Amino acid sequence: MENWLSAHRLQLIFLNQTFWINSAIIVFGTLMMYWLLRTLIRFVSNRIAHYSEQRNHRVTTLLVEILRTTSQPLLLIFSLLIALRFVDLPASWSVTIAHGWFLAFILQMTMWIDCGIRLWLQSLLRDPLHVRNPVTTVILGILLRVVVWVMMMLAILSNMGINITALVASLGVGGIAIALAIQTVLSDVFASLAIGFDKPFEHGDFIVFGDVAGSIEHIGLKTTRLRSLSGEQIVCSNTILLQQTIHNYKRMQQRRIVFKFGINYATPAEKVRQIGSMVKEIIQDVPDTRFDRAHFLAFDESQLTFEVVYFVLSAEYNKYMDIQQEINLQLMAQLEQKQIRFAFPMRRVEFTGGVLPRINLSDASNESSPQTAQR
Q: For position 66, what pLDDT does the model report?
A: 80
Q: For position 290, what pLDDT does the model report?
A: 93
Q: For position 327, what pLDDT does the model report?
A: 95
Paired strand residues for 236: 224
Contact status, residue 299 vs residue 256, Cβ threshold 8 Å: no
Q: What is the pLDDT of residues 166-203, one digit of tens each?
A: 666 666 666 666 555 556 667 777 787 788 777 888 88
Q: How far apart are CA 30 and CA 78, in angstroms?
A: 8
Instruction: Return the SS3 of 233.
Output: strand
Residues of the chain with pLDDT under 70: 1-20, 54-58, 89-92, 125, 127-136, 164, 166-185, 351, 353-354, 356-357, 359, 361-375
Provide the CB-side half-sphere exposure for 359 (13 A, CA): 4
Contact status, residue 224 vs residue 216, Cβ threshold 8 Å: yes
Q: What is the pLDDT of residues 326-351, one digit of tens each?
A: 999 999 999 999 999 998 877 777 76
Classify residue 306 by burial, with Cβ atoms within 10 Å: 0-12, 13-18, 19+: buried
**Max alpha carbon distance in the chain (Å)?**
151
Q: For position 371, what pLDDT does the model report?
A: 47
> Which domains are seen in the chain, by residue range?
15-160 (no CATH), 184-247 (2.30.30.60), 255-337 (3.30.70.100)
Which DSSP state fits 353?
Answer: S
Q: How far apart are CA 18 and CA 44, in angstroms?
A: 38
